[in-house]
A and B are shown apart, each in its own frame.
Chain A
Amino acid sequence: SQTIHQWPATLVQPVGSPLSLECTVEGTSNPNLYWYRQAAGRGLQLLFYSVGIGQISSEVPQNLSASRPQDRQFILSSKKLLLSDSGFYLCAWNRDRGNTIYFGEGSWLTVV
Chain B
Amino acid sequence: GIQVEQSPPDLILQEGANSTLRCNFSDSVNNLQWFHQNPWGQLINLFYIPSGTKQNGRLSATTVATERYSLLYISSSQTTDSGVYFCAVLYNNNDMRFGAGTRLTVKP
**Which positions in A face B, CB cutoff 8 Å?**
38, 41-44, 46, 88, 90, 97-103, 105-106, 108
Chain A contact residues: over half helix, strand or loop, or mixed? loop
Q: List 27 A-B contacts (CB under 8 A).
A: A38-B41, A42-B86, A42-B101, A42-B103, A43-B98, A43-B99, A43-B101, A46-B96, A88-B41, A97-B94, A97-B96, A98-B30, A98-B31, A98-B90, A99-B31, A100-B45, A101-B88, A101-B96, A103-B35, A103-B42, A103-B43, A105-B41, A105-B42, A106-B41, A106-B42, A106-B43, A108-B41
Report Cα–Cα, A103/B88, bound state, in Å. Answer: 13
A62 to chain B, nearest CB (A): 18
Q: Assess whether B33 is in contact with A44, with CB atoms less than 8 Å apart.
A: no
> Could you say which of A46, A88, A98, A100 has the most chain B C-beta atoms within 10 Å of its C-beta?
A98
Closest to A42 in B: B101
Q: Assess whether A44 is in contact with B90, with CB atoms less than 8 Å apart.
A: no
**Which positions in B face A, CB cutoff 8 Å?**
30-31, 33, 35, 37, 41-43, 45, 48, 84, 86, 88, 90, 93-94, 96, 98-101, 103
Report Cα–Cα, A43/B94, bound state, in Å. Answer: 19
Identify 17 new A-B residue pairs, CB closer than 8 A, beyond the known A101-B33, A101-B45.
A38-B41, A42-B84, A42-B100, A42-B103, A43-B98, A44-B88, A44-B98, A46-B96, A98-B31, A98-B90, A99-B48, A100-B33, A101-B96, A103-B42, A105-B41, A105-B42, A106-B41
Closest to B102 in A: A42
Closest to A46 in B: B96
> Could you say which of A42, A43, A88 has the most chain B C-beta atoms within 10 Å of its C-beta?
A42
Chain B contact residues: over half helix, strand or loop, or mixed? strand
Closest to B35 in A: A103
Closest to A94 in B: B96
Task: Please indicate the chain A residues that have their CB under 8 angstroms from the CB of B37 in the complex.
Answer: 42
